[in-house]
Chains A and B, each alone.
Chain A
């Protein structure tokens, strides 16, 4: 150590040691590494708290590190990700299914509702797909296109848009917008500081967000909220942060702004219409359909109920108009009726009454107690049954009088007179319209019998067979007499003999009487009392006496006489 060094040591010994120490820290890599490692966590924390620059700075290198690591050790990362992949996939699938379900719901809603049908028609008129039209109608706003434009030269840096958006040449649009922007500024802003920030074009709104080097122009369908402008400004600020210098120097080479499209994509926002807004517009389609169906059902059931009510009234009227029925109540359950009351056994069935007014009998239950009706129709019917009324007779009841009319045998008339009093509710009989109906028939038979002759040989000896014929006649006549009596007639029988001209007139008359007597005796054997028509003489003055068998006979004269009616 020379004098100078000693002098330095004396003067700057402490400082030199410090410098040596600093030099050693700077030169020795391990010490520097240890120092950085010491402050790195805190430095990262502070930087992250201050702004987002650290994240921006690390995004690319960390991303590349991850890519490299994944390429080199895919299995390690697969193992590490395995526990989270399952839940993530399930969550993703559930989310997709939920969206799908919602889309289905909306599609159905808009397909069947009146609004949906109207939209479908309008979509076909506009020549756009129904789905797209529904989207336009259901969204509050949608950023259709976003242009990132260099403020320096109006060149388009990048452009993103929805697939369904109709776009022109985006470079030309970008330039034209810049030109119009300049035109507006030069024309309407005296100090040239003004700028075009928004424009309305029918259903579209155009928003321009200005940055130092770039202009973000968004074409928005619908009504965007004010907060969207702040969001777009944030996106533009981020773009300036990442690509500010590149955009400032932009000359049309897109490679100088890599991945700017990813940033720009974030502008394509979409927001569905507020549910509360939808509610204000009226109930949704399915509800309308449901209400319509309910209304139709109400109308249907209302009309049906009214029809049933009408049927109930008709049934009640028909039952009340039916003799022998007394209805106390008709209960209705839907279209089913329960009838309660009293029914005369002779009255019409309730079910038959219902059928007669087109109400099926299976819709009618009957709970009727039997009773005896005094209604005229039922009284007449009961009288008919009790008295064995012939078909040729009609009964009618008025008050307590039974009116009989038509034709009936005498015997039945006698029975009617004797038995009508036994009918409850009947105390008088009117037979002024009732006649016998059997006289002609009896009279014809009587006329036939009157023609019969029974011949004799000599004296009072019948010719062969005529006595037997007379007995048959007697039997037949006895039957006729009985029948005539039933019909209210008496048959009077007179026997009259005859003889030929041989002999004296007196003798012949006597012979004729004997012959009549013999015949009457035969009739008497059958219970018939025949009167004898005695003849004083039988003369044949103009003829010579001769035997004539045809004059030797006996004949009867039968006469019908009405029996006097019983009082």
Chain B
């Protein structure tokens, strides 16, 4: 298996469940206190793609939540191979925040593979994203998932898809 490493950034508004989503999926490497002090926390996850004979290691930068990134956060995003956008399905405003962040990132660093996680699908009573809206998001982001950090629904699938997209993107680049 060929080892490949990629930098992936998790971005989204405050309290959308970014860290919870990541923690469902990764091996913790550092304390969460870095998130509140340095503004970012690093974790890693290895995913194997036997068909491609590739072991893809994602170095996941969990960037502190914000509606709009400052220079420090933007510095953290530099060189990322892919993005995990996270929004809160019970707060549609967070989708707007994701859109703003995506624009900001694209403007600074160009397009890159990304997946959108509309999180907290377990809170069905408070869920506030219609199917039509979700379809529109899927069209816009290419890959959108209704996830639950609490139950783990679709989290792994979404991130595995991102890893796959990054490999495809790199192969196209070559």
Residues of B within 8 A of A172 (CB): 29-30, 42-44, 59
Instruction: Name the B residues within 8 Å of A156 (CB-CB).
Output: 5, 59
Given A171-B44, A176-B30: A183 touches B59 (CB 8 Å cut-off): no
Contact code string A145-183 (vs B, CB < 8 Å = 1, else 0): 000001011111000000000001101111110011011
Nearest neighbor of A253 in chain B, beta-carbon distance: B4
Chain B residues, Cβ within 8 Å of A192: 71
* B75-A186 in contact (CB<8A): yes
- Could you tell me if A168 and B170 are in contact, using CB atoms closer than 8 angstroms? no
Is A251 in contact with chain B by the CB < 8 A criterion?
yes
Whether A169 pairs with B80 at a CB distance below 8 angstroms is no
Taking the closest CB of chain B, its distance from the CB of A174, in whole angstroms, is 8
| Chain A residues touching B, majority SS | helix
**What's the tally of chain B residues with a CB closer than 8 Å to chain A?**
29
Distance in Å: Cβ of A74 to nearest Cβ of chain B: 33
Task: Given A169-B29, A171-B57, A179-B38, answer yes or no on A252-B75 (Cβ-Cβ < 8 Å).
Answer: no
In whole angstroms, what is the CA distance A169 to B45 when docked? Answer: 10
**Contact call B5/A152, Cβ cutoff below 8 A:** no
In contact, A175 and B42 (Cβ under 8 angstroms): yes
Give residues 49-75 of B contacting A (CB, 8 Å): 57, 59, 61, 71-72, 75
A155–B80 Cα gap in the complex (Å)? 9
> Does A175 contact B6, Cβ atoms closer than 8 Å?
no
Report if A179-B76 is in contact (Cβ < 8 Å); known contacts: A172-B44, A172-B59, A255-B2. Answer: yes
B170 to A155, Cβ gap below 8 A? no
- A residues sitting closer than 8 Å to B (CB atoms) are 150, 152-156, 168-169, 171-176, 179-180, 182-183, 185-187, 192, 251-255
CA distance A88 to B94 in the complex (A): 71
CA distance A255 to B53 in the complex (A): 14
Within 1-59 of B, Cβ neighbours of A (below 8 Å) are at: 2-7, 27, 29-30, 34, 38-40, 42-44, 57, 59
A153-B78, A155-B5, A179-B34 given; name 15 further pairs at CB < 8 Å: A168-B29, A172-B30, A175-B7, A176-B29, A179-B42, A182-B76, A183-B72, A186-B71, A186-B72, A187-B72, A251-B170, A252-B4, A252-B81, A254-B3, A254-B5
**A-B residue pairs in contact (CB < 8 Å), sample of 17:** A150-B79, A153-B79, A171-B5, A172-B29, A174-B59, A175-B7, A175-B42, A175-B59, A175-B61, A176-B29, A176-B42, A179-B42, A179-B61, A251-B173, A253-B2, A253-B170, A254-B3
Closest chain B CB from A181 CB (angstroms) = 9
Asked if A179 contacts B40 (CB within 8 A), the reply is yes
A182 touches B72 (CB 8 A): yes
A206 CB → nearest B CB, Å: 16
- Tell me how far the C-beta of A248 lies from the nearest C-beta in chain B, rounded to whole angstroms: 11
* CB nearest to B28 among chain A residues: A172
| A171 x B75 contact (CB < 8 A) | no
